[in-house]
Structure 1
Amino acid sequence: MPHLALYTFGVLKSPLADTAPLTREFYDIGGSVYRKISQHPGYLARAEAADGDQGVLFEADWGPWGEFAVPDWYDKGRTADSTALAATLSLWTDPGSAFDAVYTGLHREALNRRHDWFERSGHPSHVCWWVLDDLIPTWRDGVSRLEHLRDHGSVPHAFSFRHVFAPDGTPVRSKGVGPENVRAH
């Protein structure tokens, strides 16, 4: 059975290494959010650096998730001192589970504060696609799908939570956004 891959990306207002209170706040809540999401029903896995250091995204060993990559619109630093982004790559059993994890609980609280931490870019902040159950998506896959979503809108190849597709490519959303509309397996 296919799994849902979810890639998220945002450009931070200041580098991760910044010692300002808002940056520390973002970093601190991130650990709690990751722990909570990893316990959510339907969660399978997420890309984690082998050494566990989130501050060296570009130099980290991501194992089977591949070399770290970013969308073409990211124009800030790439060193531990200058990187100003947040990105995740995860696997889920279905879109409803991923939607629930993103839009409820602690992660929802963090989303409510996103404009404190992230620049408003006009680009999509997430993309979903289906992968075979024995495949692990790479960072490059996520970037490619996010750029495709930006350029072409939601299609079976790359879609958002607003316009979900089943693994066979058929649309599954009937009205509104919500977990009741994204339970495709």
Structure 2
Amino acid sequence: MKTFDTPAIVLAGLFLTVSATSASAATIDYVLSGFATGDYTVLGDPTAVAQDFDDIHFRFVFAGDLPGADVGGDDIVPIDSGRLRVDGVTGHLVLPATEIFGVDPLDGEAAFGRVGMSGFVPTVRFGGPGLDGYDGSTSVARTPVRADFMKPFRVRVDGETVQVTIDDFTHAHFAAFAVPEPTSWALMTVGFLGAGATLRRRRALAA
């Protein structure tokens, strides 16, 4: 019965190797979190007035396509979508078609922004020693950063568009996660199931 041990192990390894090789990232999620102070206004309501907020936890998630493009000598990643979570409520960021992750050419810090006639114009700039040399194309562990919001942004919440201005963003952290394609998740699941079935069969035959 022991003659089945080696083939079973080889098959299990093959399942996992094929699955892991196929699990290439299609997108990357950038997460910027911290405590924000500023104000917001509900647009489209002529009676709306700006409302202040102070030291509220904000969590931004930007989804970027891979691979990035190269514009003006700076590595950039086009941003597909973004969302903001505040006190358990999630809204979708209203992003321009040219929103990207890139590097601010003035100070070399990572930033979200857009491509204009004069090149890359940052709207949110962040950086720190832990991000030196980071080009936005790979995963990075949660890292303390400085963050400056240089312009207001808009977010859709419950059918309304809200314009948010952040004056101060403290205790900021940045992280990035490579996200496998849905087909890669399926292959990984099949791989683990196949490996488990093979090993169970080996144990049954050995008994």
TM-score for both structures, normalised by structure 2: 0.24
TM-score for both structures, normalised by structure 1: 0.26
Higher helix share: 1
Q: Larger radius of gyration, structure 1 or 2?
A: 2
Higher strand share: 2
